[in-house]
Amino acid sequence: MITLRSPREIEKLRAANRIVAAVLRHLRGLVAPGVNTAELDREAEAMIRDQGAEPAFKGYAGFPASICASVNEVIVHGIPSRRVVLREGDIISIDVGTRCDGYYGDAAITVPVGDISAEAERLMTVTRDSLMAGIDAVSPGEHLFTVSHRIQEHVERHGYSVVRDFVGHGIGTQLHEPPQVPNYGKPHTGMRLKAGMVIAIEPMVNIGTCEVDILADGWTAVTRDRKLSAHFEHTIAITEQGPDILSQ
């Protein structure tokens, strides 16, 4: 069942998501060659707890860290580690979740490490723009999969592929709530969006195949062809006036 959130609840979700946005901004500034992803995780956890919130991912289904740090061919769910040291030319997707006063925040960005290839830059731009194309389609009465389709259409028009194995989601008093929000779909199908719904939209976009492998740690999702992948996510409240991006 999809819970519609009151204006008071949406403000609580905004508070949780503002912390996520602040942490992402901070981590973006720390990303540099020589930094390892465990350092980013430590910084994020300290900052989240400082703001009176909790890291939502830590312990979620047994996930061992506060952020997901997914470098290059890692699509999502990369586990921060001292052994993963960023190098010039890498891209890193950072996903942050918080729980604050019973409500969740969730957002992700992909960040360049130093100078990156033109292709990596283009992948990041197309992925970010596909998220914005999806958000632009959000309005009360619109079909959910029209939003999904806009994302897919933007990505495929640029020659990249959309990951099917992971999807966006409703978010509220749980990190993952219905509905699922795929990044592909048939326009004018699916449920109709309503004011008060809150969803996380999160396209994962690959340069090559959309096929996914999960590594032996049970978490790390990589592209089967080991080509680059990018990930951007926002949490959005649907209002009578349209989308309200809570994670900015």
Residue 73 CB, nearest distance to Mg ion (Å)? 20
Residue 84 CB, nearest distance to Mg ion (Å)? 21
For residue 111 the two structure tokens come to: 């960040």
Applying the rule CB under 5 A, the residues between 133 and 192 that interact with Mg ion are: none
Residue 233 CB, nearest distance to Mg ion (Å)? 5
Q: Which whole-number Å values give the CA distances from 146 to 77, 99, 165, 188, 232, in the listed order?
A: 27, 30, 19, 5, 19
Report residue 111: phi and psi, to 5°.
Answer: -125, 140
Instruction: Compute the 3-state secondary structure of the chain and give helix, strand, coil in percent, each to the nearest 5.
Output: 30, 30, 40
Distance CA 214, CA 15 (A): 33
Residue nearer to Mg ion on the CB measure, 200 or 205: 200
Residue 199 CB, nearest distance to Mg ion (Å)? 10
Residue nearer to Mg ion on the CB measure, 196 or 203: 203
Q: Which of 224, 179, 185 is nearest to 199 (CA)?
A: 179
Q: Are the C-beta atoms of residues 163 and 183 closer than 8 Å to each other?
A: yes
Contact stretch for Mg ion (CB under 5 A) within 2-10, 114-122, 124-132, 199-207: 199-207
Query: Which helix or strand (DSSP H or E) is residue 218 part of?
Result: none
Residue nearer to Mg ion on the CB measure, 35 or 110: 110
Residue 106 CB, nearest distance to Mg ion (Å)? 4
Residue 115 CB, nearest distance to Mg ion (Å)? 29
Applying the rule CB under 5 A, the residues between 91 and 110 that interact with Mg ion are: 106
Residue nearer to Mg ion on the CB measure, 193 or 200: 200
Count the residues of the shown chain that bind Mg ion, applying the rule CB under 5 A.
2
Contact stretch for Mg ion (CB under 5 A) within 1-9, 35-43, 140-148, 197-205: 197-205
Half-sphere exposure of residue 185: CA atoms within 13 angstroms, side-chain side = 22
Residue nearer to Mg ion on the CB measure, 57 or 145: 57
Residue nearer to Mg ion on the CB measure, 204 or 207: 204
β-strand partners of 229: 206
Any contact of residue 13 with Mg ion (CB under 5 A)? no
Any contact of residue 21 with Mg ion (CB under 5 A)? no
Any contact of residue 200 with Mg ion (CB under 5 A)? yes
Q: Which of 122, 98, 97 is nearest to 110 (CA)?
A: 122
Residue 181 CB, nearest distance to Mg ion (Å)? 9
Residue nearer to Mg ion on the CB measure, 106 or 244: 106
Q: Are the C-beta atoms of residues 16 and 105 closer than 8 Å to each other?
A: yes
Applying the rule CB under 5 A, the residues between 33 and 72 that interact with Mg ion are: none
Q: Which residues contact 179 (CB under 8 A, 6 or more apart)?
A: 2, 144, 169, 170, 190, 191, 199
Q: Which stretches of the chain bind Mg ion, using CB under 5 A?
A: 106, 200
